[in-house]
């Protein structure tokens, strides 16, 4: 069970790290959104709030990968 927890922590850390870099590097294409959801996300992009969320999400994945003792801190930041 301990090995499963370590693997899950590493996979989640990688997910938050890579997806946190996406708004800055734009390596995952985003399809055009329509309707209310497209307007909402467009407002977030125009106000640069997406950059703030990514700037918080990207470093929070790093402690899960590098320092297991900071896992609690990363979980608090992600909540």
Average pLDDT of each block of 10 consecutive residues along the chain (79 residues)?
Answer: 82 80 83 88 87 76 65 65
Whole-angstrom Cα distance, residue 9 to residue 3?
A: 10
Global model pTM greater than 0.75? no
């Amino acid at each position: 069970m301990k090995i499963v927890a370590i693997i899950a922590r590493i996979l989640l850390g990688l997910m938050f790290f890579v997806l946190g870099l996406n708004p800055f590097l734009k390596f995952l294409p985003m399809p055009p959104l329509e309707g209310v959801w497209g307007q909402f996300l467009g407002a977030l992009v125009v106000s640069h709030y997406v950059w703030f969320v990514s700037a918080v999400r990207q470093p929070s994945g790093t402690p899960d990968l590098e320092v297991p003792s900071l896992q609690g801190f990363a979980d608090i930041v992600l909540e």
